Amino acid sequence: MQTQTDKKSNLAKSIFIALILAIVLGLLLQNYSQVLNNYVKPLGDIFLNLLKFIVTPIVLFSIMGGIISMKDIKKVGEVGGFTVVYYFCTTAFAIIIGLGFANIFKKYFPVIATTNLEYSVDNNVSFMDTIVNIFPSNFLAPIVETNMLQVIVSSVLIGFAILLIDEKKQEKAVEAIDILNDIFMKVMELILKLSPFGVFCLLMPVIAENGPKIIGSLASVLLVAYIAYIVHALVVYSFTIKTLGGLSPKKFFKGMMPAMMFAFSSASSMGTIPINLQCCEDLGADRDVASFVLPLGATINMDGTAIYQGVCAVFIASCYGINLSLGQMLTIVLTATLASIGTAGVPGSGMIMLAMVLQAVGLPVEGIALVAGIDRIFDMGRTTLNITGDATAAIISSNRLRRKGKIA
């Protein structure tokens, strides 16, 4: 009989094989990209929809169950506070790394004509609007709209309320939540068995459609962004997971491979939460902690996006013949770090954040049009980095609570 470890290993191998096949066949079938988009991509979208379907109930019931099991509002506040500060710090490091590599290699960036560029982005969402929108006005709306911040707030409120009701009723509520949690975890397990198929169907049409663009004029910009993604993961995450999480970086990255490969294929942080949750648990993260930290990270942790902004800002500035000053680069660091919270839960937040960064340093927002055509290729890498950062936070938070004797 297969052990749980063997099953996870087989899943990781299957996803890897599917990823390689998708890349190879995508490159071979570039002349049939429209056919693949019409008939293969929808199959991948079905799998992604199934994952998104399971995300909300898992987050809802896991957080409620976690709060009830912790029985301490201070512990919840401690995990939340540490996680937000950790995300802020890693995002700041990410934007510095992105700017650093972009400035080192900008002499290799192509200079593209900026005449007749047009790009508009709806960024009329103020910071206070974001704060107000964290709190749901309807019980079902956060679930229907998959608004993770609102789902987290709803879960926390209901979890605390259950702790305050009569003990006999509390026991019944806890039993009901545990049963529902187990049911949806089993559904997640069934859906994840389709991961290799989903990865293949999602990635192959993207490679077929974007193959020429990858080796086109913007190849150097893409390459610099991906080098920065890799350096951030190998330096920042290896350091934090070793020193704060008590885990070998080699073991961490090996254990995270299924989630990272799926994130790369789907470019969806929300869709990757179920696989990420499973990987984090296998690496020793407490399920209650991971169920709280991962959805929060999928909403506000933007390390990959921060690197993308740094590289794109330098590239766009070079196309306009502008050399960014040290003051402007510091402004980019500050703006990108704060914007990761300010645009939390906003659809298309990557582009909105880039627009905010460009405006902050006086660069034309129309410059986004220079990179918009290959945004999906950038997005695959930045999503992979984002979910990896979420996992480090879950493992580190779990380790901190264990050292303090607050969880088993």
Handedness of CA 246, 249, 253, 254 (dihedral sign): negative
* Mean model confidence pLDDT for the chain: 84
Amino acid identity of 250? K
Mean pLDDT in residue range 182-200: 87
C-alpha distances in angstroms, 187 versus 52, 85, 179, 231, 322? 12, 33, 13, 36, 53
The band of 40, judged by pLDDT with boundaries at 50, 70 and 90, is very high
Identify the CA nearest to 254 among candidates 51, 13, 14: 13
Mean pLDDT in residue range 116-138: 67
Mean pLDDT in residue range 131-144: 84
- CB count, 10 Å around CB of 167? 6
Report pLDDT for 377.
84
Residue 408 to residue 406: CA distance in whole angstroms: 7
pLDDT digits (tens, 9 = 90+) for 327-360: 889 998 888 887 766 555 454 567 777 888 888 8
Residue 271 to residue 255: CA distance in whole angstroms: 18
C-alpha distances in angstroms, 50 versus 111, 189, 193, 224, 273? 42, 12, 12, 34, 12
pLDDT digits (tens, 9 = 90+) for 139-185: 888 888 877 778 888 888 898 888 888 888 888 988 998 899 889 88
Residue 17 to residue 396: CA distance in whole angstroms: 30
The band of 365, judged by pLDDT with boundaries at 50, 70 and 90, is confident
What the block records as the tokens of 301 is 């942790």
| Exposed/middle/buried for residue 311 (C-beta within 10 Å: 0-12, 13-18, 19+) | buried
Percent of the chain scoring above 70 in pLDDT: 88
- Would the pTM of this model clear 0.85, i.e. be above it? no
The per-type count for the chain, helices as H runs and strands as E runs, is 19, 0
Residue 279 to residue 359: CA distance in whole angstroms: 39
Instruction: Write down the residue that tokens 């089993």 correspond to.
Output: 186
Mean pLDDT in residue range 297-325: 89
The band of 10, judged by pLDDT with boundaries at 50, 70 and 90, is confident
Report pLDDT for 404.
84
For residue 301, pLDDT over 60 is answered with: yes
Report pLDDT for 1.
42
CA end-to-end span of the chain, whole Å? 29
Mean pLDDT in residue range 203-210: 85
The DSSP symbol for 325 reads P
